[in-house]
């Protein structure tokens, strides 16, 4: 182990942690921090991937601090941006006096988010971003019921709890929580297929015409890091479009490069009507946002001087500066988190008849680098969904996932790497 990574110099927890425990216990709500004999340690500083406790022990932070430290703890660019902003203007007045740094962030977000997500409502915590999505869905549809998932975690404010799917967080507050959400089992790629999951969704929602939105984590985080089957998010999109239901992705945990793309929904080439982001967004500084399609966000009336949805720290300048610096860092290093280098373009042009009969696509001869040919199904998992045609190298066995928009099929170029 390198000297600059893990370094244990004494007891864990050490004497300084133990000394700080008594005042913490005396003055903090006892519900906040679990304090046992061997856990936790008090943190003193953090840098990059390591955290140091108050006794000088240093640890590798494999948790990325709740998924926040996507650009590392105290990333120098983020630190500098916050320091400069703090010295210039620490607080803007929420919805009253906007700032240039806030406007710059709004523009930047619309450039890194999937296309069409252009209108933002900034906030401070993830739960607030979720609340904004719920309120927007009600305004935009005139409906009041949500579809959510067992095991879901969207935060602990009352609205977010309504679509949460972890009973220990909801039950103590049951009388205050609307609890009219329809809950589905989160589809796990290891145990179910997109077709089975969508059939279950159809059956559950068949009799309901009161659904405002389906709210889903593209990868269920706190519920156990559960990945849905390929194509599920795209199938949800198709279902929602057909039923006039809004689709909300909670990417608070998965956003900002944490799954190999800027946002997890990009793996399924699916664009929601609203996306909730937070955590890694500010590189450690609290800031969050709900970003929507303009047509959805415009369900809110224009402000006449009294905003219906705001907060004191909305668009806080330091948060905006931190987010811009974080995005800049991710942008510069996107090759490191991107799977783009593992994508292979594929050189196949589809005959006319395959556009009508999709089953023949499976046997489409795919030229290989050595001049031979293999049927497409031998090298590809094929999913028909929305969005541009993409091909990804999927795993060591050289299987590919193809997502094809068959309205304009072009399976692209270059089998040379297969």
Residues that bind ligand PLP (CB under 6 A): 125-127, 130, 153-155, 217, 221-222, 250, 252-253, 278
Angle in degrees, 0-180, between the axes of helices 317-332 and 100-112, rounded to the nearest 10: 40
For 413, the token pair is 């170029």
Instruction: Pick between residue 72 and residue 221 the one whose CB is nearest to ligand PLP.
Output: 221
Q: Which residues pair with 247 in a beta bridge?
A: 214
Smallest distance, Å, CB 218 to ligand PLP? 9
CB of 107 to ligand PLP, least distance (A): 24
Shortest distance in whole angstroms from residue 215 CB to ligand PLP? 10
Please state the closest distance from residue 126 (CB atom) to ligand PLP, in A: 2
Residue 134 corresponds to which tokens in the numbers above? 């719920």
Helices (H) and strands (E) in the chain, counts: 14, 15
CB nearer to ligand PLP: pick between 127 and 386: 127
Min separation Cβ 359 and ligand PLP, Å: 38
Number of other residues whose CB lies within 10 A of the CB of residue 408: 9
How far, in Å, CA of 197 to CA of 386, rounded? 18
For 129, the 3-state DSSP assignment is helix
Spatial distance between the Cα atoms of 250 and 277, rounded to a whole number of angstroms: 7
Nearer to ligand PLP, 240 or 252 (CB): 252
Identity of the residue, 17 or 316, whose beta carbon is nearer to ligand PLP in the bound complex: 316
Minimum Å gap between C-beta 92 and ligand PLP is 21
Q: Where are the alpha helices (DSSP H) in 56-118?
A: 64-67, 76-88, 100-112
As measured in angstroms, the least distance from the Cβ of 417 to ligand PLP is: 35
Question: What is the maximum alpha-carbon separation in the chain?
Answer: 75
Residue with Cβ nearer ligand PLP (63 or 303): 63
Q: Which is nearer to ligand PLP, 13 or 155 (CB)?
A: 155
Of 351, 359, 132, nearest in space to 250 by CA: 132
Q: Is residue 107 within 8 Å of 290, Cβ to Cβ? A: no
401 in Cβ contact with 383 (< 8 Å): yes
Residue nearer to ligand PLP on the CB measure, 52 or 251: 251
Distance separating alpha carbons of residues 386 and 383, to the nearest angstrom: 10
């Amino acid at each position: 182990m390198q000297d600059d990574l893990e370094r244990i110099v004494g007891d864990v927890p050490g004497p300084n942690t133990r000394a700080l425990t008594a005042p913490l216990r005396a003055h903090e709500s006892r519900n906040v921090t679990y304090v046992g004999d061997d856990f936790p340690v008090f943190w003193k500083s953090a840098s990059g991937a390591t955290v140091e406790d108050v006794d000088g022990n240093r640890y590798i932070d494999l948790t990325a601090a709740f998924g926040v430290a996507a650009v590392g703890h105290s990333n120098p660019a983020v630190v500098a941006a916050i320091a400069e902003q703090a010295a210039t203007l620490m607080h803007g007045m929420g919805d009253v006096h906007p700032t240039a740094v806030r406007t710059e962030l709004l523009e930047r977000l619309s450039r890194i988010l999937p296309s069409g997500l252009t209108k933002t409502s900034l906030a401070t915590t993830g739960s607030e971003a979720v609340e904004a999505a719920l309120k927007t869905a009600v305004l935009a549809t005139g409906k009041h019921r949500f579809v959510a998932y067992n095991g879901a975690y969207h935060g602990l404010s009352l609205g977010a709890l309504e679509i949460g799917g972890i009973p220990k967080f909801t039950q103590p507050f049951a009388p205050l929580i609307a609890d009219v959400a329809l809950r589905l089992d989160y589809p796990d790629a290891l145990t179910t297929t997109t077709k089975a999951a969508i059939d279950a969704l159809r059956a559950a929602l068949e009799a309901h015409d009161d659904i405002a939105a389906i709210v889903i984590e593209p990868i269920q985080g706190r519920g156990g890091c559960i990945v849905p089957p390929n194509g599920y998010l795209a199938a949800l999109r198709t279902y929602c479009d057909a039923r006039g239901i809004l689709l909300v992705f909670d990417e608070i945990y998965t956003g900002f490069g944490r799954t190999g793309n800027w946002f997890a929904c990009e793996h399924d080439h699916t664009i929601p009507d609203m996306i909730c982001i937070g955590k890694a967004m500010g590189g450690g500084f609290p800031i969050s946002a709900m970003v929507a399609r303009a047509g959805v966000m415009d369900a809110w009336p224009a402000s006449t001087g009294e905003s219906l949805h705001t907060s004191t720290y909305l668009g806080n300048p330091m948060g905006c500066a931190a987010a811009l610096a974080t995005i800049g860092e991710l942008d510069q290093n996107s090759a490191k988190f991107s799977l783009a280098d593992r994508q292979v373009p594929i050189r196949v042009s589809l005959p006319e008849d395959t556009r009508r009969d999709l089953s023949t696509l499976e046997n489409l001869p795919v030229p290989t680098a050595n001049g031979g040919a293999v049927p497409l199904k031998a090298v590809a998992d094929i999913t028909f969904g929305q969005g541009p045609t993409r091909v990804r190298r999927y795993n060591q066995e050289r299987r590919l996932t193809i997502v094809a928009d068959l309205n304009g099929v072009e399976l692209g170029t270059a089998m040379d790497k297969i």
